[in-house]
Structure formats: C-alpha cells, structure tokens
A and B are shown apart, each in its own frame.
Chain A
C-alpha cells in the first residue's frame, strides 16, 4: 500500500456536467440513504474526468450532504479511484497469481520498452497510463488487461501490440 492521502487540487471548482448530473439524480433514488451514493458518485466523477481531484471530493460530499472526510476516506481506501490524472487509455495489468504465472511481467516489460511506460506513470503525450492492479477476477483467462473498464483476456505481447495499434 502506499500513501494516497495527498490529494491533487486543480484550482478550478468541480461540477458534474449535464449527463452525469442526471445520472446522479437517477441513482440517488435507488438507495434508502444518500450516503450510499459516495461510491457511485465517485465513479461518476471518474467517468467524467478520468480521475478524482480534491475539488471533486468536496463537491461530492456537499452534493450528497455528508462529511467531506467520509468521501475522502472512501476515495483513499479504494485503489481503483485514480487520485491523480491518468492517460486517455488507462491500462490496468492484473498482477495477482494466475496472471503473474501466465506472464503479466512480459506485458509490463513490453510497455516499458516500447512506450517507456512503467506502472504508476503516464506517457508524455498523456495517451497511455499504466497500473498494476490486484486480481481482476478473470483468472481463467489470464493474463488479463483492463483498459478504461473493458476487459482483454488471454493476452500476450503480440496481442497487446495489435491492440495498441487500434488505439492510435
């Protein structure tokens, strides 16, 4: 684990745009208490901006009507909340047992050699960012990549090469 408590402030006020605003209002009706909206609201922030900034946490807290410290707790607890800006394509490589044994390191090495991209970093053109994550739950088709929420199974270096070409 690492310290995720240092939030990044953009200096600009955060606000849901129209699409996510309606989505928030739709979701909030689902739950008996508004506090249940902390995680879904953080997901909406991440969908809108790609990452969660300090202002967004304050905004979510005020919007839900809960303590900012509570949203802060949740955002720092779950590692899938990106607390720093990520690339246009956020690549998560599974690093847990099955994927590790089936060669996730070769894929990580490929990113390092080809794009000069190491876990936790973003390419200079802000196109790709890489992260090693814990089990994605698709051990049967290891190694697995998750890119912007989409799963790519049974990956190897060749398949990654072809996949990246489609992103360019």
Chain B
C-alpha cells in the first residue's frame, strides 16, 4: 500500500496517496484540476498554465499543480476568486485564435476546451481583432489529420513522439500566437504508434483520418475489451453504435489505461482490427452446402463424432479460456483430440520492445495453461487419424498452404466454425461438410491470458443483427459438459486455481490477474 497523506482542498481535509503530483493525487479522490499539457504518461511540462492552483501560506502562493508534489498539510485553493480568475483568463487566451467550430469538429463531446469552457469560462469573446489564420486539414501522415487553428499548443503530441516512440516527427514551430505543430517537410509521422497522438490531443487539432466524420462521440456505446490483435492484450475501449435500421458497427478502438499491460497506449494495427469485426463476416450456417438451422448441423455433427473412430478439434489460440475449456471438456468426453496448432499466428521479427509482439494470438498463454497441444507433429498425426475434423475458428490458412490443408482433410468430414471466410483456404470452403458462422471477440465475453501471464476479462458489447453462436454454445450443443458460460468458467477455475477466488469472470480486477507459473498450478 502506498503511504497516505492528509491535505486540505478549499479548507476540507482529504486523504491522498503520497508521491504524486496534485493533479494525479486529487484525481484519485474525485477532485478535478483542469489541465491541457500534463499527461501522466508524458510527465509535467507546465506550458499551458491551466492547472495553476493556490497554496495558502505557501511560497509561491500560486503553483502549477502538475509540477507540485502533494505534501502533508498542504492547503490547496481551487475555488478562490483569484484562482477562478486565472482559469478564466487562461481559457480566454486559448480561445483568442480558436475557430470554435465545434459543430463540425470530431472532438466535440470529448473536448477539454469544450468542457472547461462550460466549467471555467462561459463568457462571450471580447476579441475584436481578426484571428490568426493557420493551416487546416493538414495530413500529418500515419492517418493523422491536423487542424492548426484548433491547436492549443500543449505539445503532448510532440512529447509523445520524442519520449515514447523516439521518432520526433513533430515540433512546435514559430512563436507567440503563430506557434503551431508541424512536421519537418518530407518527414511526416511514420511509426507504428502514431495514432496515439489523436487520443492524447486534448482538443480537436489532431483527428484520425479513419474515424473523422463517421460518428459523434456521444452516440457511441463503449465496451471495455482486450485487443485481440496480438499477445500483448492491450486494454481497449470498443466504441460502437447501432444506428436505426443498421447493424451494430464498431467505429473505432481506443486504448484504455492499464499500467501493468499497455500503459495509456496501443499500436495503430490494433486500432484497425475493428474493420475485420465489421466486414467480411460469415453469416450463414450450412450443412452439405445448403443453409440449415444450427440445431440440425449440431445434431448431425454430434452423431458423426459418436460414430467416428477419431475426432480432431482445432481451437484458436485467440479463443477465450471459457471457449478453450468448453472444447477441451467436449474432447475429454468424446475421446477426441484437441490441438491449438497455430504456427502461422507468429510473425517473426514483427514485434518490438514496446507493445507489438510477434505472436498474433491473444491467448496462447491460456492454451499452454490448459495444456492443449499445439505442435505441428501432433496436429499432423491426429489429422491423419481423424475422420471428423471440427475447426473452432482457427485460421489454419495462416499456418498451412491450401494444398496442405486439402491433403490433410481429403477424406475427413469437416465442420468449420469460423468468424470469417477463408480459415481453411478457399479450396476447402466448398468441400467442408458443414460450416457455422461464429461470434467474434467484440461480441462475446471472456478471459484471455496475455504474453506476460496476465489474465484479463473483456466484455463484448456489440450486438449484431444476425444471431451467431459462441464457441461455448456450439461445444455445449455437441454435448460438452460445459453447458454454458457459467459452467465453462467453473471448469476454467478448476484447471487454473489462481482464478478460483473469482465467482464470475466479471469479478476479475480491472488491471488483470497476474498468473505466475507457480500460482497457475497444473
């Protein structure tokens, strides 16, 4: 536990954690100090002057909260008249050259300038001189669009690119009211984390070319999820919305703060994974080439599994723990083999030392914890033996060529349960005995374990118009003892004792559970 100290805010005593600056310390107890340039990940810069607070009997009597550590007995003034005047005047300064084009600005609804105007300023402009004209709709590269006139010159984007990505594409050029963010001609933003500057920007100066004009911030529904783009398991917010008569669509993915996994950031590739959640999804369940209800397919498959000399279930290394145990339990019951063969999910030398990992599977650690075999030889041997093969959303086309897949399952009855077409290659698509369209990770709940052994829950908020089954439902339909999400979770807890204390997956702490090797048991 961190040490607690007592200080006074507007005369009232509050208890805060020590070793933090005033903004962070007071934010934890629900007291907001307005700020533009300060960001916990980038440190204090002290250029915006919005966070000036009064210190009673202090020297100096007015200090920037971002650079002032919280101290025992400090008497902080937030609502004194002279502090209110400072906040009002700083806001007025920011608005001198601001175009105030909120109706056409993408940041509206999540803009600090808007929020602070309502809270700290709220007066009409006194400016009677023409505003400084700057560049609009400037392409900064990397999918970032810049509007210089909206900028408050806080320098967060500049500091992010210098401190975090160490690429330093942006700089604050000129001075005075002509100051603006620019890249050096011919050297635009060119790194794999560039879009984070859009989230960092407290105003609408930096917007994402991908998200611009697609949806208003206040229409978006939020789902706290985990990125399934690689094994890092960055915490994300899935922003989706179902417009009238339309399908539920994801509009963007934003990073969610988790200090022990991704900090405040995520990679650009992870942000774009929402596209595959929206588009090119499998829609129908087919049996021998004709569209049939799911129950018919499952009944047929179940009888085939019973009759088969050997059945092989292939699971995805991105599946949730619940899905993995559901399939595993089914295999144990029917005597089938389970494989998580997925060599193709590992992209060599793609990772870096920040967030991107070589392994593009979200739950490979979970696969290992459940002792599911994933070697090529095991898979090949089992595939040769098996006369029934069920694929649970493993994109086999990443690991094997079309000919290899065709050869392995020449005489095998195949049920392909998948979110997207092409998991078994295009040639196999017609030959598959049955296919089932599955829910994808933005549509189901579950727990995945990231590359560092941290188990994290995610909530699927997207509700598609087409009802698709989850892998747990399919496994249950095929006779798995895990008859539902709760039963599957109970099985997970049996296999991973470290998770036993949590009644449901929703009780997992927001920052995740670190499953070190000895804790995981097994």
Interface residues, chain A, with chain B CB atoms under 8 Å away:
1-5, 7, 9, 54, 57-58, 61, 66-73, 76-77
Contact = CB atoms under 8 A, between A and B. Distances in A.
A58 B184 contact: yes
B185 interface: yes
A72 B158 CA distance: 13
Given A1-B178, A2-B178, A5-B182, A73 B173 contact: yes
B92 interface: no
Count chain A CB atoms within 10 A of each CB in B134, B158, B171 and give the residue with the most. Answer: B171
A76 B175 CA distance: 8
Interface string B146-181: 000000000000100010000111111111111010
Contact of B183 (A1, A58, A69): A69
B175 A1 contact: yes
Nearest to A78: B175
A57 B170 CA distance: 14
Q: Is the interface of B mostly helix, strand, loop or mixed?
A: mixed
A5 B180 contact: yes
The 9 closest A-B pairs by CB, nearest first: A67-B168, A69-B171, A68-B184, A76-B173, A73-B171, A1-B176, A5-B173, A72-B184, A1-B178
Contacts of A73: 171-173
Contact of A69 (B134, B175, B180, B184): B184
19 contacts: A1-B176, A1-B178, A2-B178, A5-B173, A5-B180, A9-B185, A54-B185, A61-B184, A67-B162, A67-B169, A67-B171, A68-B184, A69-B184, A70-B168, A71-B184, A72-B184, A73-B173, A76-B175, A77-B174
Contacts of B169: 67, 69
Contact of A4 (B158, B171, B172, B174): B174
Contacts, number: 60
A7 B170 contact: no
Count chain A CB atoms within 10 A of each CB in B170, B172, B174, B177 and give the residue with the most. Answer: B174
Nearest to B187: A68
A58 B185 CA distance: 9
Contacts of A57: 184
A76 B184 contact: no
A58 B169 CA distance: 12
A61 to B, nearest CB: 8
A1 B177 CA distance: 8
A77 B167 CA distance: 21
Contact of A5 (B158, B162, B174, B176): B174
